Amino acid sequence: MQIPLPLRALLVFHPSRSRAFSSITMAVSSSSSKPCLRGVVFDMDGTLTVPVIDFQAMYRAVLGEREYARIKSDNPSGIDILHHIESWSPDEQARAYQIIADFEKQGSDRLQIMPGASKLYEFLESRKIRRGLITRNVKEAVDLFHQRSGMIFFPALSREFRPYKPDPAPLLHICSSWGVEPGEVVMIGDSLKDDVACGKRAGAFACLLDETGRYDSPEYQNVELKPDYKVTSLAQVQSLLESNFNLTPDAGMPG
């Protein structure tokens, strides 16, 4: 059962405004209708790992300056580069994918685990809450992340899984493989257009990681799909989950 809409209206956790957040959290916590949380699905780049890929530079390299400016003006919430190049000729696609692969390789070479990721992973593991991953990066990057972080997310879907985010299909696939309902899952990511959209379209809760406050800009205020929650670091996620969800261990989840 989901929280009544007035209480689920965008809950923003900012340390500087903890009093306002706490008042909402107390109202949620006192309700017997807190939803059961049985799984958390994470984005990888910029969420579980420190953002090191210069996506805007990558988009410019793929599209060219003029086309980049045109598409960006038409898509204020962000550019879906993978979707855009699907209509190109095979030769153009090959060139574009090579540019993207070069940028991703540079990112993998500088891979850093996001502060708070390991502690949050351990908390979810201790509560027997499933942990999955969805990324638009390649499987090789996911394998490297698993190897270097020591954390294992399963299922972990890379862009080889089609259709990819923001389509809800990968999140629905994970829910199905876990045997849970989307309303028992939280999607956490740093992209409004990919992660939040994927989560909301699937019927899950969506938590936006916005470290810099970029999504406070007026250009994002009228987007169609908004997150249920917003945090500025992964360190804030545990208390958010404890306040707003029933975290009773799932008997079907292995220890």
Interacting residues of 27 by C-beta distance below 8 A, sequence separation 6+: 7
Q: For 177, list phi and psi in degrees, rounded to 5.
A: -65, -30
Nearest in space to 157 (alpha carbons), one of 167, 200, 241, 148: 167
Q: Which of 45, 210, 228, 250 is catalytic?
A: 45
43 catalytic, yes or no? Answer: yes
Vertex 116, ends 111 and 119: CA angle to 5°?
Answer: 115
The two tokens of residue 165 are 């985010």
Tell me the C-alpha distance between 160 and 175, whole Å.
18
Contact at 8 Å (CB) between 31 and 7? yes
The two tokens of residue 215 are 């999504």
Polymer length of the chain: 255
The two tokens of residue 88 are 């190109």
Tell me the C-alpha distance between 103 and 109, whole Å.
10
- With tokens 């201790």, the residue in question is 126
Q: Which of 43, 190, 194, 210 is catalytic?
A: 43
Tell me the C-alpha distance between 86 and 73, whole Å.
20
45 catalytic, yes or no? Answer: yes
Q: For 67, list phi and psi in degrees, rounded to 5.
A: -65, -35
Contact at 8 Å (CB) between 2 and 35? yes
Q: Which amino acid is at 165?
A: K
Q: Which residues are catalytic?
A: 43, 45
